[in-house]
């Protein structure tokens, strides 16, 4: 029966997200069979100046969310 594992991170910490995914895969070695891995990155949005509730000048973008889905079956 297929199952999913969801990982969520932010664009500014891609290395941390990669480490989380790779650590989980290593922990599951031999216990699961991965059938697919897919991901998505959210569109960038302008960072807000919270004090004024306006967009910051200079077109600074806040980090985008990253979603990784792993579909697997128990071995």
Of 63, 65, 69, 64, nearest in space to 21 by CA:
69
The SS3 call for residue 6 is strand
Closest by CA position to 25, among listed 68, 65, 66? 68
Q: Exposure of 70 by Cβ count < 10 A (0-12 exposed, 13-18 middle, 19+ buried)?
A: buried
3-state secondary structure of 64: coil
**DSSP strand pairing (54-55 vs 32-41):** unpaired
pLDDT tens-place string over residues 20-58: 999 999 999 999 999 999 999 998 766 666 556 555 555
The predicted model gives 8-20 an average pLDDT of 96
Over residues 55-69, mean pLDDT: 77
């Amino acid at each position: 029966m297929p199952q999913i594992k969801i990982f969520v991170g932010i664009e500014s910490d891609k290395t941390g997200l990669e480490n989380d995914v790779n650590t989980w895969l290593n922990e599951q070695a031999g216990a699961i069979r991965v059938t697919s891995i897919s991901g998505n990155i959210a569109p960038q949005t302008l960072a807000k100046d919270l004090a004024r509730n306006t967009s910051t000048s200079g077109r600074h973008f806040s980090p985008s969310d990253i979603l990784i889905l792993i579909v697997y079956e128990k071995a």
